Amino acid sequence: MSQLKDTLFRKIEEQRPRVTRLLKEYGQVELDKVTIAQAIGGVRGVKCLVTDISYLDPEEGVRFRGKTIPETFAALPKVPGSEYPYVEGFWYFLLTGEVPTMEQTLEVVADFQARRPVPQYVFDALRAMPRDLHPMAMLSAAIVVMQGESIFAKRYNEGMGKGDLWDPMYEDSCNLLAKLPAIAAYIYRLKYKGDTPIPSDPELDFGGDFAHMMGIAPPYDDVARMYFILHSDHESGNVSAHTTRLVASALADAYYSLSAGVNGLSGPLHGLANQEVLRWIQSKMEKLGGKLPTEEELERYLWDTLNSGQVIPGYGHAVLRRTDPRFSAQMEFCEKYLPNDDLYRLVKMLYKVAPKVLQEHGKARNPWPNVDAQSGVIQWHYGITQYEYYTVLFAVGRALGVLANITWDRALGYPLERPKSITLDMMEKTAGIQ
Ligand code: NMX
Ligand code: MLT
């Protein structure tokens, strides 16, 4: 057994009695109550999901396994000559809560390298799709087309006990994760680079190989590492994480579950917002004949967007009430590597103007930027100008978090998720409306 799997198993055995005790002795303790506004309003704020992989504080932002973003970047082993950690070491950390040594990290790197080859039929399936299909639809289809590879589905059909199901879920998760960079890069080069796929370099790590297969020189390898880690997890109530978990709760395997989660991520209020930010900015610049808008022009554009009933992409959040630290981490990168980039200057101007406008507008509970307000600019700078592709990058990162979550869901035996519905009549009756 690998050191990662061994450590994971030890952690699972530590956590199981905690779940049993909570259920047996404290099962009736109330965590929250639900109002009509919450039932109608997307279950916002109701504390009814469990995960230890990450936690989102409204003021502070995300912590992965108890560590803030800067703490996470500082703690994990770095790729020699790079500023950002191995994605493989981060996977170890997300799964176990333990910071791996370099040796443990390199063991995962080697394990992923062995799991990396993508079946030819995936590429054939991608090639058979219309070239103008959205890359998120291509990614989702490429994931689900591999469902026949699922070890979980095979073991389940053979009658594996519930308590052991985490093992094939872990195996499927590692197999899937290791293949995602090659699939994502293939989609990019098929659609936008004249069908010129670049084969994987078996010596490289997850982020390095992705940059290599995209055909983009350093420091894009570090951009990829940073990007995948930042987008990995945001506790389990967001649409992509929740969808993945919900589907997996019916004991669907990782292929079905992740494909479903990717579909959720493709919504413009969720992961697609990173493409929308660029589309929104570019459309203004086009109207100005390629010029950067002034602060006054930008303010007017914000009002025009709001007055036409549209949202300002990249701003607002269902939980956060401050600037997203994932936005700040990317801003730090931009300050270092692309301080004079025109689009970055525009994003900075937007950060100055938009919160004020949104506050004055008075609807959004959070007028501050989220992760998506910044991420496209970095991609654009390194040559990925096809902004409809950005959410695919988000999805590769998000896979780390949601696959860690569903592995743990099976380990702790979490049941089928099935909340209860009521009718409007029942709600009015409860509210005392005659
Ligand atoms: N621009 C304009 N209006 C907004 C914005 C925004 N950026 N954010 C929230 N509102 C509106 C929202 O549409 C709602 O209006 P109404 O009452 O007419 O339905 C009102 O403000 C209250 O919404 P909130 O409670 O502040 O936000 P909610 O939790 O419902 O939604 C988002 C959260 C993220 C969906 C929302 O802020 C939004 O649409 N933002 C723009 C899209 C975006 O950036 N999404 C990416 C989120 C991060 N991610 O990667 O997933
Ligand atoms: C995410 O990373 O999933 C988004 O910020 C949305 C969320 O957390 O609700």
Summarize pLDDT for 14-55 with one digit per residue, the tens.
999 999 999 999 999 999 999 999 999 999 999 999 999 999
Asked if 372 is an active-site residue, the reply is yes
DSSP for 133-147, written as a single string: S-HHHHHHHHHHTTG
pLDDT value at residue 335: 97
Asked if 195 is an active-site residue, the reply is no
- Opening angle at CA 186, ends 182 and 188, nearest 5: 120
Mean pLDDT across the chain, nearest whole number?
A: 97
pLDDT digits (tens, 9 = 90+) for 152-165: 999 999 999 999 99
pLDDT digits (tens, 9 = 90+) for 253-282: 999 999 999 999 999 999 999 999 999 998
Spatial CB neighbours of 394, under 8 Å, sequence gap ≥ 6: 231, 265, 271, 274, 375
pLDDT value at residue 434: 77
- Opening angle at CA 82, ends 81 and 87, nearest 5: 130
Selection from 255, 241, 66 nearest residue 153 by Cα:
255
Q: Please, what are the domains in the chain? A: 110-268+393-411 (1.10.580.10)
369 φ/ψ angles, rounded to the nearest 5 degrees: -75, 150
pLDDT digits (tens, 9 = 90+) for 84-142: 999 999 999 999 999 999 999 999 999 999 999 999 999 999 999 999 999 999 999 99
Selection from 243, 224, 270, 223 nearest residue 370 by Cα:
270
| Catalytic residue of the set 231, 242, 317, 381 | 317
Selection from 373, 130, 188, 166 nearest residue 253 by Cα:
166
Mutate to test the pocket of ligand 1, among 269, 326, 330 (most ligand atoms within 8 A of CB): 269
The number of C-alpha atoms within 13 Å of 289 and in the hemisphere containing its C-beta is 0
Model confidence at 331: pLDDT above 90 = yes
Distance of alpha carbon 388 from alpha carbon 317, whole angstroms: 21
ipTM, two decimals: 0.99
pLDDT value at residue 250: 98
Region 419-431 average pLDDT: 97
| Catalytic residue of the set 172, 253, 324, 372 | 372
pLDDT value at residue 284: 87
- Opening angle at CA 175, ends 172 and 180, nearest 5: 120
313 φ/ψ angles, rounded to the nearest 5 degrees: -65, 145
pLDDT value at residue 243: 98
